[in-house]
Amino acid sequence: MTTTVSQPDTSTIALSHRSCRSCTLCCDLPDIDELDKPANALCRYCVRDEGCTAYAARPATCRDFLCGWRTDLSLGAEWDPILSHMMIYRQGAQLTVLVDPRHREIWTEQPYHGHLRRWAAEGRASGGYVIVWVGEEVFKIEG
């Protein structure tokens, strides 16, 4: 599989051919204030690898969120969170990568580490940078 690697341009428009399927990473890895949910703790409404049991009543944070893989075609099949065990999203100049702590070394493996370094290098000229979270550990990627 050949992947075009460029700084992901994450937006909020879903790619029609991609769906979450059994992924529940964004109900687990990030903190969500509206749910009083800490990072790396499964939401009380989530059934891991199945989905949300409160889907119709889920808060705006959940309704509005799509990870980078759902919106950015430049993220290839290897970045499917079900395979990569990582979720990506943009916060202004910061490209954030949350790693499932059950697969805590995967971001250091290829092709992932190479992509992260390339994105960091590409972003540097415009003030962008890449941050990786693995549980309580945080890493700034040097391009």
Positions that interact with ligand SF4 (CB under 6 A): 20, 23-27, 32, 35, 43, 45-46, 52, 54, 58, 62, 66-67, 69-70, 81, 87
* Spatial separation of the C-alpha atoms in residues 13 and 81, rounded to whole Å: 18
Residues 6+ apart with CB under 8 A from 137: none
> Nearest distance from residue 142's CB to ligand SF4, in Å?
25
* Spatial separation of the C-alpha atoms in residues 57 and 97, rounded to whole Å: 27
For ligand SF4, the closer CB: 35 or 121: 35
* Spatial separation of the C-alpha atoms in residues 129 and 18, rounded to whole Å: 26
> Nearest distance from residue 82's CB to ligand SF4, in Å?
7
For ligand SF4, the closer CB: 46 or 141: 46
For ligand SF4, the closer CB: 6 or 53: 53
* Spatial separation of the C-alpha atoms in residues 79 and 86, rounded to whole Å: 8
Residues 6+ apart with CB under 8 A from 60: 34
> Nearest distance from residue 29's CB to ligand SF4, in Å?
8
> Nearest distance from residue 132's CB to ligand SF4, in Å?
15
